[in-house]
Amino acid sequence: MARVFCIANQKGGVGKTTTTVNLAAGLAQVGQRVLMVDLDPQGNATMGSGVDKRTLVPTVYEVLLGTAAVREAARRSEAAGYDVLGANRELAGAEVELVALEQREHRLRDALAAVQGDYDFVLIDCPPSLSLLTLNGLCAAHGVIVPMQCEYFALEGLSDLVNSIKQVHANLNRDLKLIGLLRVMFDARITLQQQVSEQLKGHFGDKVFDTVIPRNVRLAEAPSYGLPGVVFDPSARGSKAFVDFAREMVARVERF
Ligand code: ADP
Ligand code: MG
């Protein structure tokens, strides 16, 4: 049965999409069957996996509205090594259209039920908000992975997210757990980042993943080639860190 994880943080530019595509590629490299679901109308995770969002029909939009099945809409990214349920600008409209539908928070969960046996991992890239799209992600998931930069205001933003996860857990999805906090774009030479990192561990203990993702320009260059960094330059420090993170996730899932 597939384990479903949301990569979420209500802040933009914190590394959600980079984490989603590189964790997907890392998991594929260690032999896992992976479906990556793009829930952001920007479609960056789709493009960054080598699937052209501009010509893509159907997308996750049709899946949410119930006019296409996941198997029809998913595309194989041969280069990246995993399947992609892609998104484009059309998805922005779903926000409004979903409001009128039954089970509006559970559309993605219900659609994914049909492919439970096809994958070991389903990773969902969320938009930077707590919208109905993100709620669909949280309602479909067993757990949330939160990428974060070790900056001054990082802890403040976290309490909002942790509260939202608690609310969803209490009202909509009893399976949902905070799996862990992933330190990304980390620069060990910056004292403040080390301090925030220590604070995080003090606060959240073993909810902080052991793996740390360094700031690495190869990870930022990879999307323009339509590839996850892990595939674009396997020897880069950032890529190796994401493969380590994939192994850490496999080990965590085995302990569930
Ligand atoms: P989000 O999805 O949260 O908006 P992104 O994953 O798109 O964030 O990342 C924001 C920017 O930071 C992108 O330009 C991305 O290439 C860059 N980036 C993300 N992670 C790293 C990293 N570890 N090292 C260097 N640049 C990174
Ligand atoms: Mg993103």
Token output for 204: 């959240």
Q: For 212-234, give one letter per residue: b (16+ CB within 10 A) or e.
A: bbbbbebbeebbeebbbbbbbbe
pLDDT in tens, 36-77: 999 999 999 999 999 999 999 999 999 999 999 999 999 999
Ligand 2 center from residue 28 Cα (angstroms): 20
Between CA 238 and CA 206 the distance in angstroms is 22
pLDDT at 127: 95
Between CA 77 and CA 242 the distance in angstroms is 18
Q: Decide whether any atom of ligand 1 lies within 6 Å of the 182 Cβ.
A: no
Q: For 82-110, give one letter per residue: b (16+ CB within 10 A) or e.
A: bbbbbbbebbbebeeebeeeeebbebbbe
Residue 153 scores a pLDDT above 90? no
- Structural domain tally of the chain? 1
Domain membership of residue 199 (yes or no) is: no
Domain membership of residue 206 (yes or no) is: no
Q: What is the pTM of this model?
A: 0.97
pLDDT at 65: 96
168 C-beta neighbours (distance < 10 Å), count: 22
CA dihedral 178, 184, 189, 191 (to 10 degrees): -40
Among candidate residues 63, 121, 124, the one with its CA nearest the CA of residue 91: 63
Q: Decide whether any atom of ligand 1 lies within 6 Å of the 184 Cβ.
A: yes
Domain membership of residue 135 (yes or no) is: yes
In sequence order, which residues have a C-beta less than 8 Å from that of residue 251 and are 6 or more positions away? none
Pocket of ligand 1, candidates 6, 18, 19, 49: which has the most ligand atoms within 8 Å of its Cβ, to mutate? Answer: 18
Residue 122 scores a pLDDT above 80? yes
Q: Are 101 and 107 in contact (CB under 8 A)?
A: yes
Protein residue with least CA distance to atom 13, ligand 1: 220
In sequence order, which residues have a C-beta less than 8 Å from that of residue 131 and are 6 or more positions away? 95
Between CA 224 and CA 107 the distance in angstroms is 32
**Average model confidence (pLDDT) across the chain:** 95
Between CA 27 and CA 45 the distance in angstroms is 16
Ligand 1 center from residue 217 Cα (angstroms): 9
Report the DSSP beta bridge partners of residue 77: 82
Q: Decide whether any atom of ligand 1 lies within 6 Å of the 22 Cβ.
A: no
Ligand 1 center from residue 42 Cα (angstroms): 14
Q: Decide whether any atom of ligand 1 lies within 6 Å of the 220 Cβ.
A: yes
Three-state secondary structure call for residue 101: coil
CATH number for position 67: 3.40.50.300
pLDDT in tens, 19-28: 999 999 999 9
Q: Decide whether any atom of ligand 1 lies within 6 Å of the 15 Cβ.
A: yes
**Sign of the C-alpha dihedral computed for residues 128, 47, 82 and 186 taken in this order:** negative
What is the arithmetic mean of pLDDT over 164-191? 96
Domain region containing 48: 3-140+216-254
- Nearest ligand (C-alpha, residue 14): 1
Ligand 1 center from residue 220 Cα (angstroms): 6
Share of the chain above pLDDT 90, in %: 89
- Which atom, in ligand 1's list, is nearest to the CA of 18? 6
Share of the chain above pLDDT 70, in %: 100
Whose tokens are 């990082």? That residue is 154
Three-state secondary structure call for residue 181: strand
Ligand 2 center from residue 11 Cα (angstroms): 10
Q: Cα Rg for the chain, rounded, in angstroms?
A: 17
